[in-house]
Each structure stands twice: as C-alpha cells, then as structure tokens.
Amino acid sequence: MLKLCHSGLSTCSKQVRHCLKEKGVAYESNYIELWRYENLNPQYLKLNPNGVVPTLVHDGVPIINAFAINEYIDDAFAGPPLKPDDPKDRARMRHWTFMGDDVHQAIINLTYTANLKSLVDALSEEDKQTMIDHTPMPERRARWVRMSGEGYGEADINAALGKVSYTVAWLEKELANTGWLAGPRFSLADIYLLSNVHRIRELYPDQVDMVAFPRVNEWRDKLMARPAAKEAYAPGTDETPPRPAGKSVDGIFAETI
Ligand SMILES: N[C@@H](CCC(=O)N[C@@H](CS)C(=O)NCC(=O)O)C(=O)O
C-alpha cells in the first residue's frame, strides 16, 4: 500500500525516511541503487520522470519531490504533526525548504566530486554515453557530461562552498530564535535541512565548525539523537540485498525494479 523508492546514501531519501519514522508510518522499502543507475530504469522513470529518488507510492499513486512527499505524509497519516500551526511559521518552514534545495545543488557538486568521480571514471565510454542519453533533467545531464570529462575544478568547488557558508551562517542566526527552524517546535524544515548539514559535516567538517557555529551543532546533535533520525540515517537503512555487480549500464536499464 505504501512503498518508498529510495537510496541509502541520498540526502533526499534520508529526509523522507526520517519523516516516515517520526510519524510512525510503516512502509515497504524499494531500494534504488543510484550507483547502478536504477533511477534511470524506464520502469522507474514511469514513477518519477525526473529520474531521481525518492518516490513514495501510495495506493499505486506515485508522489515525488522530497518536500512534497513529506507534506503529503504529514497530511495523510496520523502521528505527531510536523507542520507548524501558525501560518507565518509555515511560510518560514517553506522558505527553509527552498534554502535547502538551493544548497543541495551545491552539495551535489561537492558529493559528486568527493564520492562519485572515481566511479564515473571507471565506466566505459559507452556506458558514460548511455548515462548521458538516459538522464532526463537537462541540468543533471549537463552534470553527467561534466563528470564524464574533467569534473569540477577549484572555481566550482569554491562556488559551492560559498553557497554552503552562506546557508550555514543563516542557519546559525535562525536557530537563535527558538532552537528550531520554523516556530516553537520540531518541523519538516528541521528534517529537510538536517540531511544537508549532515552531508556538509561528512564532506567539509570545517564548514560547520563547532566554535563558529555552536547553535547549528547543538541543533544537529539534538536532531540526530531522535530515534527516528537514528534509524533513518543508519548505514544501509532499508537496503534490499546487494545485487550482483559487473553489469553494463544498458543491462541495468533492461531490468525491472
Ligand atoms: N528534492 C528533489 C531532488 C532529488 C535528488 O536530487 N535526488 C538525488 C539523490 S539526493 C538523486 O536521485 N540523484 C540522482 C541523479 O541526479 O542522477 C526531489 O526530492 O525530487
């Protein structure tokens, strides 16, 4: 009835897993292995034409885009409310999701450079082209073209880090108000930004330095201590058993999910 198509490492998948676990909603896990390009499988593209994770499928209806999914979960299921009551706080919650999406673009470039470039370099030229041809979103296709060639250079990395600094500094200021991002209690805004801060801390810990950003660190620690976050962020969360390696990208497209 409720199926989540997601990937363990993906920041956006963590947001939805975290939300489902905060609400106490059970779901079937359908693990989409990004490093094997299962997100570009024609069967999956029918559910999510952008070819990204996550996708929630409820009663056969696909719901896409992590924040839209989380609002849907909060609206459709019982459990603790995860949206603020006050409309001004709701607007703030949505503002933070836009901030989260913005910084996520920078984080993708940092993640690709740190974690993915060597995997792309290992693909055959044919597989690289298959990837490019099958990536539906123009900006993602451009990223694959870039990653198949020289990748991101110093200027790109500095630009991405500039966006990260801007966002973290604003978070530090915002958290002076209530200790949460949108009003007097924990909300979907906290879930959304946590995954981005978590990734920044993994890749560039200096960007969220304890001394310069004490509130961001305190907020992150208190969120990560929540049982739902512990489950959602645990390595290998909800993964289906590993599939055999060594197939070409085209071979993977032929499989159903
Ligand atoms: N917020 C958007 C972004 C989704 C997104 O960027 N997902 C990443 C993982 S965090 C992905 O699937 N990347 C695969 C790719 O770009 O090829 C959404 O939820 O639809």
Taking residues 115-124, report their average pLDDT: 86
Q: Is the CB of 39 under 6 A from ligand 1?
A: yes
Q: What is the per-residue pLDDT for 179?
A: 97
CA of 234 to the centre of ligand 1 (A): 19
| 100 and 207 housed in the same domain | yes
DSSP state of 61: E
The answer to whether the beta carbons of residues 13 and 53 sit under 8 Å apart is: yes
| 118 and 6 housed in the same domain | no
**In this predicted model, what pLDDT tens digit does every residue of 179-219 receive, in sequence order?**
999 999 999 999 999 999 999 999 999 999 999 999 999 99
Q: What is the CATH number of the domain that holds 76?
A: 3.40.30.10
| 161 and 197 housed in the same domain | yes
Q: Which residue range(s) make up the domain with 66?
A: 2-81+236-254
The answer to whether the beta carbons of residues 31 and 83 sit under 8 Å apart is: no
What span, in angstroms and rounded, lies between the C-alpha atoms of 118 and 120? 5
| 97 and 201 housed in the same domain | yes
| 32 and 154 housed in the same domain | no
Testing ligand 1's pocket by substitution, the residue of 18, 44, 52 carrying the most ligand atoms inside 8 A of its CB is 52
The answer to whether the pTM exceeds 0.85 is yes
